[in-house]
Amino acid sequence: MSGLDLPAKPDRFRPGAAIGQALSRYGIVIAFFALCAALSLLNPYFLTPLNIINVLRQASINGILAIGQTFVILTGGIDLSVGSLLAVCGILGASLVTGANPGNPLVAVALGVGAGLGLGMVNGALVARLRVPPFVATLGMLSVARGLTFIANDGMPVPRLSPGFLTLGQGFIAGVPIPVVLFGATALLAWAVLRFTTYGRYVYATGGNERSARTSGVGTRKIIFSVYAISGALAGLSGMVLAARTTSALPQAGLSYELDAIAAVVIGGTSLAGGVGSVVGTLFGALIIAVINNGLDLMGVSSYYQQVIKGAIIVLAVLLDTSRRGRD
């Protein structure tokens, strides 16, 4: 612990206390670039354009889920159902773009996102209106939605998706893969909403102290309801992207994806207690997870070690962050 604290200490005595502040604020960003620098020294292919595209694409599905999760965790809640919602939305949406007469891909995406929104609103109603603890409500939804996924298509995948739809997972816009564009756009929008709108301030206020937020006139129940709806809709979106990336909507897709999404949020410095955190942090959290997986694959590290290393880095990142926050 004390060893980890050392690098930050000299900052406190420097005249520019702002640098210290910046370091604690952007610790996750610095950690990300340090990790990238280390990997680029260890492996000559890490910094090639192709690999950078791969990392971004591999980060995008978890990243979109994690952005939704950020809203939920900022209010002090948690959404365990996102992996299952991703699967059920993938199956529902993809069923419109399969077979001899595939429908419009945009309608399919709208259906997938809409289904996620609807199921997310169920989560929201359970938590905000009926006061079911978020962990319980979304754990229930995790199971219900996974069951619905198997019911929807008798447990079979939805294959042979139309080429127009597959573009969503495999196409490029100006050289950037479309999943990455969607990830980036979602992140930008979420960042702007949380930072510049009244709604965003209410999300932070609700998570910081729900009672005092309510006393000062914030409709906290509405806010809580809305964050689960957002998380559901984004799970729907990532379900459509995943189906398009793997060319089939698979009923077993997204198993335990909620854990990687929560890990990205937590690595990104958002407090599980609510009220503290940012989308920028989550963005880098998702990137760090993707870079770890990618880097260890590139170096041919056995999957046994890979799991150990990944887990250790998650805990280490949070440890660094909490120890820094504790001192502030």
Distance CA 289, CA 157 (A): 28
The span of 23-31, 54-62, 125-133, 230-238 binding another protein (CB under 8 A) equals 54-62
Residues forming beta bridges with residue 249, ordered by sequence position: 158
The span of 67-75, 93-101, 110-118, 251-259 binding another protein (CB under 8 A) equals 251-259
Single residue of 8, 11, 40, 54 touching another protein by CB under 8 A: 54
Spatial neighbors of 298 by CB under 8 A, at least 6 apart, are 39, 43, 45, 46, 51
CB atoms within 10 A of CB 175: 7
Q: Does 157 bind another protein (CB under 8 A)?
A: yes
Q: Does 170 bind another protein (CB under 8 A)?
A: yes
26 or 150, CB closer to another protein? 150
By residue count, the chain amounts to 328
Do 213 and 206 contact (CB within 8 A), yes or no? yes
Which sign does the torsion angle of CA 7, 9, 11, 14 carry?
A: negative
Spatial neighbors of 277 by CB under 8 A, at least 6 apart, are 70, 73, 74, 265, 268, 269, 270, 271
Supply the angle between the helices 178-196 and 49-74 in degrees, to the nearest 10.
40
Single residue of 154, 216, 217, 326 touching another protein by CB under 8 A: 154
Q: Which two tokens stand for residue 142?
A: 């995790």
Distance CA 97, CA 161 (A): 6
Single residue of 48, 197, 212, 215 touching another protein by CB under 8 A: 48
245 or 324, CB closer to another protein? 245
Residue 223 C-beta: closest distance to another protein, Å: 33
Single residue of 191, 194, 245, 268 touching another protein by CB under 8 A: 245
Dump the DSSP string for 147-188. Answer: HHHHHHTTT--B--B-HHHHHHHH-EETTEEHHHHHHHHHHH
Q: Does 300 bind another protein (CB under 8 A)?
A: yes
Residue 131 C-beta: closest distance to another protein, Å: 30
11-30: contacts with another protein (CB under 8 A)? none
Single residue of 60, 206, 231, 293 touching another protein by CB under 8 A: 293
Residue 297 C-beta: closest distance to another protein, Å: 4
Q: Does 40 bind another protein (CB under 8 A)?
A: no
Residue 69 C-beta: closest distance to another protein, Å: 19
Residue 122 C-beta: closest distance to another protein, Å: 23
The site for another protein (CB under 8 A) is made up of 43, 45, 48, 50-51, 54, 57-58, 150, 154-157, 159-160, 170, 242, 245-248, 250-253, 255, 293-294, 297-300, 302-304
